[in-house]
Structure formats: C-alpha cells, structure tokens
Amino acid sequence: MCGIAGLLGPGGAGAEGVLEPIAVEMADALAHRGPDDRGIWCDAGAGVALAHRRLSIIDLAPTGHQPMVSADGRFVVVFNGEIYNHHELRGRLERSGSIFEGHSDTRVIVEGAGAWGPERMLSELNGMFALALWDRETRRLHLARDRMGEKPLYYARLGGAFVFGSELKALMRHPGWVGRLDADAADRYFRYNYVPGPRTIFQGVHKLEPGHWLTVSAGRGRLDGTTSAPAARPEPTPYWSLPDVARAGLEAPLAGSPNAVMAALDELLNDAVHLRMESDVPIGALLSGGIDSSLVVALMQRHASASVKTFSVGFAEQEYDESAHARRVAGHLGTDHTEFRVTPDDALSVVPELPSIYDEPFADSSQIPTFLIARLARRHVTVALSGDAGDELFMGYHRYAWGETLWSRVGWLPRPVRQALAGALTLWSPQGLDRLAETVYPLFPARFRVSTPGDRIHKLAGVVGASNPHALYDRLLTNFSGHVCPAPRERRPASSARGHYGGHCGGHCGGHCGGHYGGRESPVAIGDFASWMAALDMLVYLPDDILVKVDRATMATSLESRAPFLDPRLVELSWRVPKALKIRGATGKWITRQLLYRYVPRELVDRPKQGFSVPIDAWLRKPLREWAEDLLAPNRLAESGVIDVAHVRARWEEHLSGRRSWAHFLWSVLMFESWRRRYRPASP
C-alpha cells in the first residue's frame, strides 16, 4: 500500500528544477501512506513528474521501488494498491516475451501496458489500485482506479498544470492550490455525512470514479523549447461498469439448489481470501464478530499454517459493544486475538486528528473505532483483512428487506394519507418510544429488537411520506431530520450524473430517481427495488463512505487493509445469486450466514445486526461537550457562510437537555466545523 502523486504541466529547459521540488513536496504529504521509501521520476521536456511513497508489502527489495519503468523504457508507473492475480498475469506475459526483474506486482502493470495496451491491462487486473501511467511514446498520462473504489485518486487543474494524488493533502502542496469551498458539495455533505463523488468539498477538484480511467496529453511544443499546459480537464471513461454487471447477473441467475449456489460462493470466497493472504510482512484480520468478518477470518484460518492474528475493539456501553461476540468467534476458530477497550478519553484523543486524516468533511462516526482498531492492528501486523462490502453484495442492511416491504404495503395509499400516518408515528418523542420498547421487547424474539427504536420510528415517519420508492431510498440515506444550510440548494437527482453514467438515466425512471449521488446514473433498469438499492449503495455509499473510512483510517496508521468481498469475480457472482437466497423474511445475507454456519456454530453469530457504531450521543453530553461547545459557538458557526446558526444551536440545546438525541445531526456539523478550522477554505 502506498501513496502516489504527480503533475503534468508546461515543460522544456529548466522545468526539472521546478517539477522535482513540487513532486517531492506532494509525495512527502503522503508519508503516512508509505513510510518505507520515496521515489521521484521527471521528464522535464514533457513537463511530467511522478512521485511515490512506499509501504513495502510484496518484494521488499529495491526491485519493488517506484516509479517503475518498463523493460523497454516506454511506460513509467506509480501505483497504490495490490494486484492479487499478478502471478498468473506474470506467467502469461513472460510466455509472450516480457522481461521481469524481481517479483513485485507493480511490474505486471508496466509490462502489461506494453503487451496489451493500457485499457486491456486494466481489465486484466484483479486488485485494489489507483495508478498513474506515463506513456513516453505518446506523451500521455493515464490515471485509473479499481472497479469498486477501494483506493482513492484525486485530480485538478492548478496553476496551468494537471495535478493528481492519493489524498487531497498532496494536491494542497502544489503552489497553485487555492482550496475554494464548493457550497453545493457542502450541502450534500450535510445531508449524507460525506461528499458524494466525483465532487469534493473544494471547487474544481474531483475524485476519479471507481472503474474509470482518464487520459491527459502533454502540451504542445513551442519555438522556445518549452511546452504549453495540458488541454482542458479530461472526462473519465469506464473500463468496467457495475450497472452492466448487475443487469447481466440478474438476467443469468445461478441455477441449482441453495447448496449448489452456496458451494460456488464458498469456492470463490475461499480463493479471494487466499489470494489476499500473500504478503512478505505480518498479516492479520479485523474481527467484529459479525457475519462478514467472522467468515473471512474462518477462511483465513483454514488456509493459514499458524493462528491468524485478529483484532477487535469494545466499549463500556453495552449497546455498542461487540467485543464479546468477536472474542467467542476468535476462541472457536483458535485465532491469536487482541482486544482494545475504547474509552471516551480514547475518542477525545482521536477527534482532533480527524480533519487531517480525511482532508474533507466526513461524519461517519464509526471512523473513530475504525481508526483505533487500525492503530491497534498496526502494532502487530502490516496487512489486515476485513469483511467490508458483505452487506452491499448480499443485502445485509435492514433497508433492503424492510424498505421494499414498507413501500409495497403503504406505497399504494394516497400521499396525504401516508403523511397523516407519518404524523401519528411522531406523536411520541423518541425517548418515550425507547421506554415503550424496553417494556415490550421481552414479548418478542431477539431478532425483532433494534437499537434506538425511537429514532428509527421517527425516521420511518420521514420516509413513509416519500413521493416514490426512489425518494424513499434517498430519505433512508439521509441521516438527520432538518437542514443545516440557510437556503438549501436544489437536490439533484441520482440520475443527473456525468461521465460513465451518462449525465442522465435515459428517462427510465420517469423522473423519479430521487437521491443525492452527485449524480450518478440511477441503475433503475436492473430489477426489483431491493436490487436497485443495493446497486446504488455499491455505486456511491460503498466507495464514498465505507471505503473512504477504511482507507483513511488504515493508511493514517500505515496499515494495509484488504477486502476479499470486493474481488471483482465475487462482485459479479453476487449479482447472479437469486435475491431469495440473500433475503429470507426479515433476514439479510441469508446465504453468507448459512455458509458461515459451516465454520462457526450458529449460536456464536446469530444475533440482530448491530453495526460498527459509537456512543456519540452520550459522549457529546459529557466528555466531548467542551470540545463541541467551542465548535458550535454562534460567532464561529456564522463564519462558514453555509450554516443556519439558529437551527444548529436549537438542536444542540435540545440534545443537551436530553429531550431528543441529535447526535448524528450534530456530528456532521462538528466534523464540518473541525475541518473548516483546520483547512480554512476560501469562500465559495
């Protein structure tokens, strides 16, 4: 795992004295991603500089150093990630005449580009990656990102140069950086707790979308021996399409009995885990005790020659604590298990660092335990496998089951009737509903019990009045009731996209796509409502929330995280698994549960889905209160120009009184303000 950065600008005599210092600065901003080595490569005549920070995982020798040049000298690459099928690709390339030195997986990229061309090379890779490939013959720079967006890549035009990097902090080191706030992106952030791609919180700075690549050509030569700046901002192009994969899978479902489908899943997931266990440094796993991480650890232990090192975090607050479950799973599997108990003081020590870790506002509060478990694991290993993406692939979130059921039961009612029903649901406060639930829960099986039922019922009230199922889904993803910006901007629908997703959905949805997705194409033509929701989650929520959280938290501690569920073969297989094998009644991930029961007794893992959350509600009232009071001071909130101060202050006072929990709402404001004070963006 590494960090990459670089620029393509005007070249010519004397450009090297400008390019190299900038590239060094950009690389050093990413030292946490690659503490083991730094490499710089420049071509002054073309105006290109590539920079790399290395976290040595495979081929620790100098033969793994980057930037790496192909054997024939044509291609130069900087690469962040791992290519899991590099042995197979190397064999094919060597048989066709390619020359290899060392056993680095990076080598298959430059030699594959020469043998197959850049686009086909990308389609051959099974891995997580963000890369920059310079073609010295055509004088073109190619940027690419893996299919599901495990590894990040940002780009912008700054001061006449095209600039890119693994994190925004690398771009901030370029002398042309301005960092002007994008008010529309801020509005989306406040609704969804992250900035959906391809936007970033800064105007003119973009995320390269998963499964895409873009090409920038060097500027034209001048009579004085220099070159002009690169052409206008390029548009990304897909080399792989999730909507196409989803449609193809739904049209050709796996045949046979549930056991036959489970056998196919077992075989492929075993291989995905085994491939991700290759490492020249110590390796372990992050274990929550849930379905997905437990299954990954069980398969790791099956392939390991010794006890797998596993790591978990726990909380004193029982409703948030999964550590006992993880401990029991670890004990059954015989792993070498380490556990860390999180205290409010631990959280308080992490919170000030969050803006620097994420570079833009990010308010998924599980970012705190994710960072803490990454830091814990890094003390013992350099690589850790996780169960990320199991929920998206096999419909583990509650919204897939009950969102579809809810709409089928109330969607036929006239909207005024549904709005009246919503009003009835909110007659009691969330706290009153919580007390009622505590009284009646003993009458129902454990699977019907959920945390914070009062807030969930109030959220339910907010979604039953939706105009259509797609708007319902958008409301499910909205993490608070109310607004932050004084004059909320028009919500662009999920279909109003750009790039690969065409800029529109083609009208398939009748104008009712609903959603915030910065506008990716709404993959509405792929089947039932639950499948539609899962596809949207894979397109945006997974890469822009879950994978951002994991990448930044692990890279901040120089830990490499690997997700077997994101093997592209497994993603494709998941779309061929019939929905009836994913959702049974109110139970999601049915097939992965059944597979896990082959390795772990049912009683150790069969419990309601809990999620990786933290007690922000209580922390804001006590140990984090002073920190929050400072950030929510009215005069400081007004400085941003995008926050409704009176609205936020009212929510804060209500939260402190205990009348209502506004923890998620307030956390989004606190993370924005903490970020704003750290980076001081220019006004929109």
pLDDT tens for 56-104 read: 776 666 777 899 999 999 999 999 999 999 999 999 999 998 888 877 8
The correct answer on CATH 3.30.230.10 for the domain covering 244-394+536-605 is: no
* Confidence tier at 640 by pLDDT (50, 70, 90): confident
* Confidence tier at 149 by pLDDT (50, 70, 90): very high
pLDDT value for 322 = 81
pLDDT exceeds 80 at position 269: yes
For residue 453, is the peptide bond before it cis, meaning its omega torsion is within 30 degrees of 0? no
Q: Residue 79: is it exposed, middle or buried by C-beta count within 10 angstroms (0-12/13-18/19+)?
A: buried
Ranges in the chain annotated CATH 3.40.50.620:
244-394+536-605
Distance, in Å, from the CA atom of 409 to the CA atom of 557, rounded to the nearest integer, reads 47
pLDDT exceeds 60 at position 521: no
pLDDT value for 27 = 96
- Locate 25 and state its tokens: 């600065």
Task: Give the residue from 113, 193, 213, 234 showing the smallest Cα distance to 153.
Answer: 213
Q: What is the mean pLDDT of residues 35-47?
A: 91
pLDDT value for 36 = 84
pLDDT value for 453 = 74
Task: Give the residue from 655, 118, 566, 223 showing the smallest Cα distance to 386.
Answer: 566
Q: Chain-wide mean pLDDT for the chain?
A: 87
Ranges in the chain annotated CATH 3.60.20.10:
2-181+191-240
Q: What is the mean pLDDT of residues 310-337?
A: 89
pLDDT value for 450 = 66
Which of the two residues, 526 and 626, has the higher pLDDT score? 626
Distance, in Å, from the CA atom of 159 to the CA atom of 162, rounded to the nearest integer, reads 8
pLDDT exceeds 70 at position 441: no
In b/e form, how buried is each residue of 461-473, taking b as 16+ CB within 10 angstroms?
bbbbbbebbbbbb
* Confidence tier at 249 by pLDDT (50, 70, 90): very high
pLDDT exceeds 70 at position 659: yes
pTM higher than 0.75: yes
- Tell me which range, 61-70, 347-356, 400-409, 512-521, is most confidently predicted by mean pLDDT: 347-356
pLDDT exceeds 60 at position 256: yes
Contact 661, 617 (CB under 8 A): yes
Which of the two residues, 223 and 178, has the higher pLDDT score? 178
Angle, alpha carbons 96-99-105 (nearest 5°) = 100
For residue 282, is the peptide bond before it cis, meaning its omega torsion is within 30 degrees of 0? no
pLDDT value for 99 = 84
Which of the two residues, 225 and 485, has the higher pLDDT score? 485
When mean pLDDT is compared across 379-393, 451-465, 545-559, the lowest value belongs to 451-465
For the chain, give the percent of residues with pLDDT over 70: 87
pLDDT value for 632 = 96
Is the C-alpha dihedral spanning 441, 444, 445, 449 positive or negative?
A: negative
* Confidence tier at 389 by pLDDT (50, 70, 90): very high
Which of the two residues, 64 and 497, has the higher pLDDT score? 64
**Cβ neighbours of residue 109 closer than 8 Å, sequence gap 6 or more:** 68, 77, 79, 83, 121, 125, 131, 133
For the chain, give the percent of residues with pLDDT over 90: 64
* Confidence tier at 506 by pLDDT (50, 70, 90): very low
* Confidence tier at 516 by pLDDT (50, 70, 90): very low
pLDDT exceeds 60 at position 524: no
Q: Which fold has domain 2-181+191-240?
A: Glutamine Phosphoribosylpyrophosphate, subunit 1, domain 1 (3.60.20)
pLDDT value for 128 = 97
For the segment 173-216, what is each residue's pLDDT rounded down to a tens digit?
Answer: 999 999 999 999 999 999 999 999 999 999 999 999 999 999 99
Q: What is the mean pLDDT of residues 410-438?
A: 78
**Cβ neighbours of residue 2 closer than 8 Å, sequence gap 6 or more:** 33, 34, 52, 53, 54, 55, 66, 78, 79, 80, 81, 166
* Confidence tier at 541 by pLDDT (50, 70, 90): very high
Which of the two residues, 425 and 676, has the higher pLDDT score? 676
Contact 468, 514 (CB under 8 A): yes
Which of the two residues, 524 and 176, has the higher pLDDT score? 176
For the segment 446-461, what is each residue's pLDDT rounded down to a tens digit?
Answer: 655 666 677 777 777 7
Q: What is the mean pLDDT of residues 370-380?
A: 95
pLDDT value for 83 = 97
